[in-house]
Amino acid sequence: TPATKLRREYTIGKVDDWSLADARDEAAKLRLAIKREGADPVQERQKVNQNPFKTLNDLYADYYELRKREIASHHKEKSLYEREVSWRIGKVELEKIRPVDISEILRDVATGYDDNKPRPTLSNDLMRLLRNLFDHGIKLDVTRFNPASPFRPRDAGGEEKAANYPMNEDEVTEFFTKLRVIPAQFSRENYLACALLIATCTRKMELLAAPWSEFDLENRIWYLPEERTKKRRAIDIPLAEPAVEWLNELKVRSCGSEWVFPAR
C-alpha cells in the first residue's frame, strides 16, 4: 500500500478454478481498477464477506421492515413479492441479478404464464417494487447497481389510466335496487358494506378490517387510527343515522366477534 509501502496479497481463487490466461486477464482488470479508480480489492472482498444481505430475499426482509412503517398495505406488497419474485430470484446473490432477470418476471406477469391470466397492472406494481428494493440496497451499500432502474411502464404492463368514473345518483339507486333482488348471490353483509363505503367515503379495507373498538355508535363517530390509513393520519368520521342503524345490524350479525366484518 502507498501509506505503509508493504506488499499486500490478494487471491482470486483456487488454481484448479482458473486457467493461466483467465488468471492473467483477471489480474489485469484488478490492476486497472486500482490505477484508475483507486480501488482496493482486499477491502471490497472484506465488505462483501461482512455484508449481511447475501441474496435478494435477505435484502427484501430488511426493506419490508421499512415498508411496514411507511404504508398500511405493506402485507399486499409482501404477498406480491413472494408470489412473483421470491421463488424465481429470491435466493440469487444480489450482484448476480441482471436486468434480463427483471425483464422476464415483468413480461410473464404482464402477458400471463402457466394458469395465470395477464396482469399488466401487477406487472407495473412489480416494476416499482423492484426498483425501490434495489435502491434500498444501494443506500445500504450492499449492491452497486439497480438492475430494475432501466424499466418503465412500457416495459411492464403499459401506461395506466386512472379509473375515475364516479356514479351519479340514478346509478347508485339502480345499483342497490338490483342488489336487493339477489340476496342469495349478494349477502346482506356485503350489501351493508357497500352502503357504508358510500356513507363514510373510506377505502375498502379500512372498513372491512375495522374492529368494533374503533366505533362510538352512541356519539355517532368512527375513530379510524393512523396506522390503518394510507396517509398515516387519524380520521374521525361522523356517522349519519342510517349508517348507525346499519352498524347496529352488523353488530348482531357479527355474533360477538371483535370485527365488524368477521371472516366467513
Write the pLDDT tens digit of every residue in 17-64.
Answer: 667 777 777 677 767 766 665 666 556 655 555 668 889 999 999 999
Asked if 120 and 161 count as a contact pair (C-beta separation under 8 A), the reply is: no
Write the pLDDT tens digit of every residue in 230-254.
Answer: 788 899 999 999 999 999 999 999 9
| Gap between the Cα atoms of 27 and 9, Å rounded | 12
| Gap between the Cα atoms of 90 and 73, Å rounded | 21
* Closest to 133 (Cα-Cα) out of 85, 83, 69: 85
Alpha carbon distances (Å) from 119 to 90, 111, 134, 154, 204: 21, 7, 23, 14, 21
- Largest CA-CA distance found in the chain, in angstroms, rounded: 89
* Closest to 131 (Cα-Cα) out of 121, 145, 118, 120: 145
Q: Which DSSP helix (H) or strand (E) runs through 237?
A: strand 235-238
User: Would you give the distance in Å from CA 172 to the centre of its chain?
Assistant: 33
Write the pLDDT tens digit of every residue in 160-219.
Answer: 777 678 889 999 999 999 999 998 899 999 999 999 999 999 999 899 999 999 999 999
Write the pLDDT tens digit of every residue in 105-160.
Answer: 999 999 999 888 999 999 999 999 999 999 999 999 888 899 999 999 999 988 87
* Other Cβ atoms closer than 10 A to 174: 12
Hey, what domains does the chain have and what are their CATH numbers? 15-50 (no CATH), 56-155 (1.10.150.130), 169-253 (no CATH)
